[in-house]
Amino acid sequence: MLLRNLHPPSLCNETRLCIGKPMPNIIEVTILTGHAAGGNVFIPRIPIISSDFPFQFKRLQFLVCLSVTMSINKAQGQSLKVAELDLFKPCLSHDQTICALFKSWKSL
């Protein structure tokens, strides 16, 4: 998942991506969501400079977050083709379980 707007409207915050080929300074990814879905793009390392201290820290960082799962709160409002529920761990509330079940029932 992308953490910042790099090239709106195709590469916006929270765009879901599939990593194809990681390289030292760029990552080749396929866009999974949005109107540019299916397109291949390259995401470079971005310099992040901290200004919280009297001196500056500078680091190069990929602005992506690797994730295998998505929380119920993050998935709310999205239409997913496949939804998998882990019912071995309790949900925080009854409403979240109903919402997750409804989403997966709708997709069947």
Residue 72 C-alpha from the chain's centroid: 14
Helix (H) or strand (E) holding 94: helix 94-106
> What is the sign, positive or negative, of the torsion defined by CA atoms of 34, 35, 41, 46?
negative
Entry pTM: 0.55
Closest CA to 3 of 56, 91, 64, 55: 64
pLDDT confidence tier of residue 108, bands split at 50, 70 and 90: very low
DSSP type of residue 49: E
pLDDT in tens, 43-84: 889 888 888 888 888 888 888 877 655 565 566 666 666 666
Alpha carbon distance 84, 50 (integer Å)? 39
Kindly list the domain boundaries of the chain, sorted by start residue.
1-66, 69-107
